[in-house]
Structure 1
């Protein structure tokens, strides 16, 4: 394999109609458009999750424990402005576990430059070209995975780089740029604000880590329906260099990286996510079939590769903590691991970018927030049942004595906030007897869904009473770190009207059609190759 075989995925094929790669997709902002920088493309999250699973097996006996701990890179969990609170436990005291996986396109080492090309971008901040949230259900019986395409435009909060101390102001940009604005902790804060989901940990991996882990596992089966060659074309430079005949192949090392970086030959970023999901699912099945406990040498090699490949948030920055985490992930059977891609639409401001697809995206986030399984094998989770039940303790004060602050967070990516909305809802509350309700003139930016917040460990009964009076479901009553009183945050789902609109609660498996769901147990899946890249 030549060094150039994985270089130069720089531009997107031009559209000739149908479901082809479509338009050229340019990075926004300070990254510019076109040229070698377009070569900076996705690093694969799948290898990160592989590392987690391997650590689960390699943890037995804690071989070279201190040495392995020294291999791990660590960083601050959150470096951005985000106050999303941790969810309430279910009746058994369990809470969901959320892990953000980030693939960095960093060229900060000679090895990453060799694998990724684009030497001229070596000193630029890295971008998070692959981002995925793993949601492990509170009962640990199912798991959901959501990928967001790199060019999806979102609100990125104010972030502070934990190493340099540089402060980056809040902005609206494609999500890949968040990694260079304060590290993985800024990307985590961006995701929390976008989804309303508390994220417990993050993990990152770079190009060299992908290759290292692909070699450690010994190869993963992938499949294409036609001969594929992801190469430069007369009208489209770049490409991963992936070349294989139709059918199934075992890939590892740099060839695995080629598979995971390929975009042109599949046709779009969304289809590239599907190829990554297929790789990941095959890898999970491969790991489950292997028994590394009986081979000490192999066990040691896997542990070395895993710890050298990862940088993690500091609260899980040891082999023991990662081992404990992996043991939780291993409880989920493959037929209950569902991988999806966030529903998106073309950005009307820039057709090279995407936006979350309104109701479809919100349905996915609601299922994560309410811990609703992505498959159809589970009923309504205990956490949601408990949230919808009448409060059994912490009784509310009389309505007239409850101080309520109302904030306007009705802005969306395409619409500004509704003028006077906080005051209008405060008047509704006053008319219901909550005479201490008042609007917050400062506003609260943007929230997808209306929530009622209260200080953690206090005033829960008051908050539930306010929610009930407005018709807001009790599952939307949340503890919040940065509030001193009951606060109604009026979201984009209640931009008008005097009564909170009834929201349809998704059922288990009720995913949008355009989420491209795929279960880890599904075998025999193959990628279709975009015609210009067949040979």
Structure 2
């Protein structure tokens, strides 16, 4: 607390000042003399005569000043100690345990950068409470699985948010991960995505997502059973809807037809149930989780649960105790700043989606990403394109400056970098030099390779200022890249080509690599089963076998 935020009442603080003992004896000059008249002029009343005793008055003043100072220090100290207490509540772990990490997203023309946060729900039975809530007592002590996984993508300008769920039984490539706590190395393997958490912790799940989607992950946040219950209680419950009475004996979820407010263990039952809803699978569970998140976001943005200081403190306690985050997000201040960033996104521009999928040909109990449709979703996230399709109406944002005519090719400096290496594929040696030579042959004689290691899913061409855009487009045309691969970046000194994992061979960009829905706009495919943040009419269809 700042000291200047505390005001000490004086003699003019109101009609009751005299009754509180404030009189002219407190108004004395530093030299020990007394001001002959009180502030504001007028006749003094009740003050001691000149030369009378003043020591008692001074002691009162000194005592009051000392008391106020002590209160300020104690209050500030208590606030600091409570801040440290909340920081201590947070669990912290490493962000990425893989050998190859994707480069961070490139800033846009205004220096703004997209934000990608991986949200994880752990089925940990590492405590008595988690065993009680999760059941399966025989599994106590086993390594947890990440049974809920959602990537939260916030656009660079904070105008939209896309949330993508990947069902837990999706078979993926889990890259090599090294546990930084004990040094154990987990080899690359093909497995369900939820098992990645067992290969050293959430940092391996982050590495798996980067390999699957090509989206660089900035942070992760993980919560367990008990944390879900505490958070649901702290926000006062969340409204959900079912189209019939439902009772799922496996999760314990029991609700009447229509809207209900779920909190505590009932909220956990809602988020965990698979058999209660129509398709009885993880796909239906993801849809129910999207409905819950949308409803909770609407409540928190409305502020109805955050006006009571006691409830706000309960929420702070519950949130910090419930979460494990990466070390880069490991303070309450950083979480608070993140929350303010997320609040800027209108609920109408929040889109929940599920990764398009097909049955796994190797195992009927598993699924795999649906070709084309899943690639389209991943490309949209990589290129900061909202899943709701509304970005198409904002063309000027994608091209903030007009294109000047290109300079003569021989006068355009171009840097070429090799970003073909990923978590599961080594970089193709010599790619930057090969493409730089090809550009020289095409007349761009100032093209040069840069050996700085990079890792990028999509090939991009970046330029620093508006006068260079025409030059960048000329480079793109020469290499066969689409105009959407050209972007304005505040972090490059000149035209910079980063060769991505989508262009590992040849000297002309393969047309098949230009996935639809990428940097030129688009909308999520129907198979993503999207839900808008403002949709209050959504209602889960109950599994007929569980109609109560």
TM-score (norm 1): 0.72
Q: Name the CA shift for 1:257/1:383 in 2 (closer, same or farther; >3 Å).
A: same
The separation in 1 between residues aligned to 2:413 and 2:316, in whole angstroms, is 61
The separation in 1 between residues aligned to 2:191 and 2:444, in whole angstroms, is 40
Taking the TM superposition and a 5 Å limit, the aligned residue runs for 1:347-386 are: 347-378=360-391, 379-380=393-394, 384-385=398-399
Match of 1:240 in 2: 251
User: Alignment RMSD, CA only?
Assistant: 4.2
TM-score (norm 2): 0.71
Residue 269 of structure 1 deviates from its aligned partner by: 1.0
Please give the per-residue CA displacement for 1:222-250, whole angstroms capped at 9, x wherever unaligned.
Answer: 1111121112xxxxxxx201112211111
Match of 1:299 in 2: 312
Asked if the contact 2:93/2:326 (under 8 Å) is kept, the reply is yes
Q: Name the CA shift for 1:161/1:300 in 2 (closer, same or farther; >3 Å).
A: same
Matched, 1:99 2:110: no
| SS in structure 2 at match of 1:300 | helix
Asked if the contact 1:450/1:494 (under 8 Å) is kept, the reply is no
Asked if the contact 1:462/1:486 (under 8 Å) is kept, the reply is no
| SS in structure 1 at match of 2:117 | strand
Residue 494 of structure 1 deviates from its aligned partner by: 8.5
Matched, 1:251 2:262: yes
Q: Name the CA shift for 1:528/1:473 in 2 (closer, same or farther; >3 Å).
A: same
The separation in 1 between residues aligned to 2:504 and 2:394, in whole angstroms, is 22
Asked if the contact 2:223/2:323 (under 8 Å) is kept, the reply is yes
Q: Name the CA shift for 1:89/1:433 in 2 (closer, same or farther; >3 Å).
A: same
Match of 1:336 in 2: 349
Match of 1:141 among 138, 159, 170: 159
The separation in 1 between residues aligned to 2:107 and 2:528, in whole angstroms, is 28
The separation in 2 between residues aligned to 1:401 and 1:286, in whole angstroms, is 50
Asked if the contact 2:356/2:373 (under 8 Å) is kept, the reply is yes
| SS in structure 1 at match of 2:399 | helix
Higher relative CO (CA 8 A, sep ≥ 6), structure 1 or 2?
A: 1
Q: Name the CA shift for 1:225/1:93 in 2 (closer, same or farther; >3 Å).
A: same
Match of 2:227 among 209, 221, 227: 209
Q: Which stretches in structure 1 are left out of the alignment for 5+ residues?
A: 1-60, 232-238, 413-420, 438-443, 455-459
Match of 2:36 in 1: none
Q: Which stretches in structure 2 are left out of the alignment for 5+ residues?
A: 1-78, 426-430, 448-453, 464-468
Residue 426 of structure 1 deviates from its aligned partner by: 10
Asked if the contact 1:387/1:474 (under 8 Å) is kept, the reply is no
Please give the per-residue CA displacement for 1:132-166, whole angstroms capped at 9, x wherever unaligned.
Answer: 01111111111111000001111211111122211
Match of 1:515 in 2: 528
Rg comparison, structure with higher value: 2
Asked if the contact 1:463/1:486 (under 8 Å) is kept, the reply is no
Taking the TM superposition and a 5 Å limit, the aligned residue runs for 1:485-496 are: 488-489=499-500, 491=502
Match of 1:78 among 96, 108, 118: 96
Q: Name the CA shift for 1:167/1:185 in 2 (closer, same or farther; >3 Å).
A: same
Q: Name the CA shift for 1:399/1:377 in 2 (closer, same or farther; >3 Å).
A: closer
Match of 1:504 in 2: 516
Match of 2:481 among 459, 464, 472: 472
Residue 400 of structure 1 deviates from its aligned partner by: 12
Residue 389 of structure 1 deviates from its aligned partner by: 6.1
Asked if the contact 1:98/1:134 (under 8 Å) is kept, the reply is yes
Matched, 1:122 2:140: yes
Number of matched residues? 449
Match of 2:75 in 1: none
Asked if the contact 1:334/1:521 (under 8 Å) is kept, the reply is yes
Q: Which moved more, 1:396-405 or 1:325-334?
A: 396-405
